[in-house]
Homo-oligomer: A and B are copies of this chain.
Amino acid sequence: MDGAVGADDLESRPRPLPATARGRRSRQALLEAARTVFARDGFSEARITDIADAAKVAHGSFYTYFSSKEEIFVALIHELEEDLRSPGRDDDLRDGARGHEPYESILRANRDYLEAYRRHSAIMIVWEQVATLDTQVERLRLAASDRFAARIEVVVRHWQETGVADPGLDARYAALALTGMVSNFVYRWSASGADFDVTRAAEQLSLLWANALGVRVPPHRR
């Protein structure tokens, strides 16, 4: 999963939330059950039957709220976004653009990303999986990655203009490659089942990132 998420402009409008409290409870129970079942069984193996069972609602009720496994998965991702876009995150790098020490901005952004990913690693891994199976989710994922990369690209370009970063780089390639580096790193590490030291990983990745861009690394960070 690359970078931040959120691409609500790609799918059909979500249906309105249920009118009654009972309805809202059922819908929520289904979402939570889905999170559990997807994390446990993966997307392909997860059966709607199991989700309904885990939510303690009748099988038929599933269709009152969602029309397919894909749809409930997308709804789950939307819930996820709220946490991934936690306050501050978006501003990590813009801060950088606003004159703070660039290396610190990079470090903060990477640490936030690693932490968010780890918090949701089970479902993030499933997201990777679903992206390979479902075109809509694939586009969602690529769009999210690209949007994130585009944001980085702007920052990199700004740094190049202000002499902070190596002007010889192609900002677009650099942004794509470096965001990919981080997301691939954390995915591979999570998928292998191993845990990892977020602080150390964030440091090392930020060091590589800063070096790659030619951004100055404060001496005490080496």
Contact = CB atoms under 8 A, between A and B. Distances in A.
B222 A168 contact: yes
A10 interface: no
B170 A176 contact: no
Contacts of A185: 176-177, 180
A172 B132 CA distance: 29
A178 interface: yes
B174 A204 contact: yes
A26 interface: no
**Integer count of this chain's copies in the complex:** 4
Contacts of A128: 132
Interface stretch (A28-36, A69-77, A82-90, A206-214): A206-214
B212 A42 contact: no
Contact of A142 (B44, B191, B205, B213): B191
Contacts of A104: none
* A interface majority secondary structure: helix
A57 interface: no
Interface in A178-214: 178, 180-185, 188-189, 191-192, 200-201, 204-205, 207-209, 211-214
B44 A133 contact: yes
**The 4 residue pairs across chains A and B that have the minimum distance between CB atoms:** A181-B181, A129-B132, A180-B184, A184-B184
Given A170-B200, A177-B208, 4 more contacts: A44-B133, A129-B132, A138-B191, A174-B208
